[in-house]
Homo-oligomer: A and B are copies of this chain.
Amino acid sequence: MEKFEIKEMLEAVAAGTTSVEEAMLQLKKAPFEEIGIASLDHHRGLRQGASEIVYGASKTPEQIELICRTLWNAGQKSIMITRMKPEAVQLLEGTEDLPFTYYKEARMGLVGQMQTPRQPGYILVATGGTSDIPVAEEAALTAEILGNNVKRIYDVGVAGIHRLLSHTDEIMNARVIIAIAGMEGALASVIGGLADCPVIAVPTSVGYGTALGGVTALLSMLNSCASGVSVVNIDNGFGAGYQAHLINNMEG
């Protein structure tokens, strides 16, 4: 498989010898460039319609900074960094050329700015308890940075069902719902029964004893008696936010 030349392709599109759809498709297949510590793919924003995402968990502060600067200088307008450690935050906040914002609760960073939502509807992020909020913020911010309207309803666990039901309208009008809960994870089933939009469930590691670090909530959500519910890994707020973004921006 040979290297792909963006410029030639765009000229072909310009000349009418290649349709836009065809060009888009070719771009998606374009290979990556191996430059240094990480394989950056400048076409990704195009390919997945998203900002660039830097997974912070396994990278040193210096690696994160280098990647961000390279992307920023290459023209990327919105660079999201997940699971940042304090040292990485400190380093990025100390730079002068990178417009960096840190969201503490979600442990996420942003170089540049959030994208403007194209879709007027909203993604709803709901949690069972207050301890689930860090995961919820990771999900909500991921969706917001990628350009989505987000509504949050927190601490609406099923043991106080009235509290959840008082939000029935927001649940029924949402385009996508992210249901986040630890302990017994029953929130996903109840919301799944009320909503008629796709529901993404996120189990959290909140709880003790037989909560088993989130496994109980995960199992519970996988066995939801409601249709239209799918599940991501324990505490994976980013994954839920990302998939909700893809669904919310489906073209009708």
Chain A positions near chain B (C-beta within 8 angstroms) = 1, 25, 28-29, 31-32, 34, 37-39, 41, 47-49, 53, 57-59, 119, 128-131, 155, 157-163, 165-166, 168-169, 172-173, 175, 183-186, 189-190, 192-194, 196-198, 200, 203, 205-236, 238-240, 242-243, 246-248, 250-252
| A-B residue pairs, 3 tightest by C-beta | A209-B234, A252-B252, A186-B186
Q: How far is the CA of A228 from the CA of B49 in the complex (A)?
A: 12
Copies in the complex: 8
Is the Cβ of A58 less than 8 Å from the Cβ of B210? no
Question: Which residues of B are found within 8 Å of A208, using beta-carbon distances?
Answer: 233-235
Is the Cβ of A31 less than 8 Å from the Cβ of B166? yes
Q: Closest approach, in angstroms, between the C-beta of A106 and any C-beta of chain B? A: 16
Q: 12 new A-B pairs (CB below 8 Å) besides A208-B234, A216-B220?
A: A29-B168, A37-B130, A38-B130, A128-B225, A161-B190, A209-B218, A215-B219, A216-B219, A223-B233, A229-B232, A230-B231, A251-B252
Is the Cβ of B222 less than 8 Å from the Cβ of A220? no
The residue in A158, A168, A251 that gathers the most chain B C-beta atoms within 10 A of its C-beta is A158
